[in-house]
Amino acid sequence: MQPILEICELEFSYPKRILFSDFTTKVYAGDKIAIIGDNGCGKSSLLKLIFANSDVRLAEIIPADGIKIIYVPQLITDYASLSGGQRFNQALSTALANYLDILLLDEPTNHLDSHNRKSLSSLYKHSPYTIITATHDIELLENHINIIWHIIDGKIVIFHGNYQDYLQEVRLKRTQLEEKVATLSKAKKEQHERLMQAQNRAKTSRRQGEKSITNRKWPTITSGTKARRAETTAGKNNAILRKEKDVISRELGELYLPEELNYKFAINSNNSGKVALSILNGSCRYKEKHGFQLDNINLSLSGSDRLVITGANGSGKSTLIKAILADPLVDRVSGEWLVPSLTNIAYLDQHYTNIPADRTILEVISENAPDLNYSEIRDFLNQFLFRKNEEIEKLSNQLSGGERVRLALALIALQNPRLLILDEITNNIDLRTREHIINVLNSYSGALLVISHDSYFLSAIGVNQSIKLDDIRYY
């Protein structure tokens, strides 16, 4: 089979940073390829390079004759009156209305509701197109991908298989490398012990030689030579062992296995079993003269319950959250609303609006934890992987996406609320950051109210209840 696209020694860099280099591969008809990596690693840039060069043949990117490539970007500025999910659907429909061979998608599952996610899954499963996708969506990676391009440490690792296969391969390689490190460390220790034994024998021989001179006997002159020879050999062997260990340690550092956040929330036994949120026959709406009203809202959360709010795009999920948070633009029109005080509610959205602007990480935590001394703050930040001095002195508006998530989670940990509300927080985050969020949420013992269409994420954080919003009345 002939490839429909070839990439030869492709490199992309900024003035002070190489995102990736020496990328060479062949793409075949029907391939379903995922580009993964941390935010900012160059996933979108790689898609744009492939698309931009589809009509102009360059040495690095060579499509076969007649191959048509279409690109659907992550940020779609057309169709301004539509929601994010509706914009993507419109852009994808327009793309599929054309003749094409290769479809490039940038984070396609962002903003999609469950129905549209199923439609996208069907496209991957049944379409004959080659699809190259920048994505962090686990469900997509596990069920519809057969090749992974992982951008990591300035290079692109190619793996044939799905995401779980890839992680298993990485774990196996990590285990093998760690065993090699252990073997080398043992060999170095044994070499050191042999050297010490040789030196001890040399000392004994010298003492015997000195005694022989005193007794007018010839000394043994070979022992010192043997000791020096042993030292030289040991030095060479140790240098070889150090070099091998350095190579293996570097390979270990390049492996993709996200470091876990292991923060444990303090458990407040006084809240165990208590109702954290209750709405009975509730209605809410924006205070505008014309719009929609959400009726027949019934939900209850107690103790450590975990509930997801579902519904199509535009069904009123965010409106309900704003009503719970007493947003001044939204009215609780009717019903019984038992809601904790705002000091007992934490809210985290995809924009991480709980992080104050123009503050360093250290200042943000200090202002929100006045009872902690400097050493305690450093210990606390260390649990959220902020370890270096230059990290904690970074301004909040200079943080990467992953750093913003970790800081937002740290602020929630300080508050330790009775009710935690999450609003589509897995949009626009990379796989490493997703795992950080899951780790922290699994240690949270309070009630959790979630808006998300990400089934893998919901399962990973133990969501066990759901309500669907579908009673909307326009006025």
Does 136 fall in a domain?
yes
Do 307 and 191 have their domain in common?
no
Does 215 fall in a domain?
no
Whether residue 199 is predicted with pLDDT greater than 90 in this model: the reply is no
Q: Is 314 left (phi over 0), alpha (psi -120 to 50) or beta?
A: left
* Domains held by the chain: number: 3
Q: State what percent of residues in the chain have pLDDT above 70.
A: 83
Place of tokens 């979630």: 450
Do 253 and 393 have their domain in common?
no
Do 442 and 326 have their domain in common?
yes
Q: What is the pLDDT of residues 250-286, one digit of tens each?
A: 766 666 666 777 777 765 545 566 889 999 999 999 8
Tell me which residue of 162, 158, 168 sits closest to 144, measured CA to CA: 162
SS3 at position 56: coil
CATH code, 152: 3.40.50.300
DSSP line for 96-140? HTS--SEEEEESTTTT--HHHHHHHHHHHHH--SEEEEE---HHH
Q: What is the pLDDT of residues 317-349, one digit of tens each?
A: 889 999 999 999 999 999 999 999 999 999 998
Is the Cβ–Cβ distance between 159 and 152 less than 8 Å? no
Q: What is the pLDDT of residues 231-247, one digit of tens each?
A: 566 566 667 767 776 77
Do 64 and 188 have their domain in common?
no
Is the Cβ–Cβ distance between 415 and 346 less than 8 Å? yes
Please give the helix or strand (H or E) that residue 366 lies within, else none.
Answer: helix 361-368
Does 216 fall in a domain?
no
pLDDT value of residue 16: 83
Could you give phi then psi for residue 70, rounded to 5 degrees? Answer: -125, 140
Do 445 and 304 have their domain in common?
yes
Does 84 fall in a domain?
yes
Tell me which residue of 288, 298, 302, 371 sits closest to 330, measured CA to CA: 288
Does 211 fall in a domain?
no
Does 218 fall in a domain?
no
Distance of alpha carbon 253 from alpha carbon 258, whole angstroms? 11
Does 269 fall in a domain?
no
The number of beta carbons lying within 10 Å of the beta carbon of residue 474 is 8
Do 435 and 296 have their domain in common?
yes
Parent domain of 46 = 3-161
Q: What is the pLDDT of residues 27-64, one digit of tens each?
A: 999 999 999 998 888 999 999 999 986 555 556 898 89
Is the Cβ–Cβ distance between 292 and 474 less than 8 Å? yes
Do 288 and 371 have their domain in common?
yes
Distance between alpha carbon 159 and the CA centroid of its chain, in Å? 18
Could you give phi then psi for residue 180, rounded to 5 degrees? Answer: -65, -40
Partners of residue 123 on adjacent β-strands: none
Q: What is the pLDDT of residues 373-426, one digit of tens each?
A: 999 999 999 988 898 899 999 998 888 888 888 899 999 999 889 999 999 888
Do 299 and 410 have their domain in common?
yes
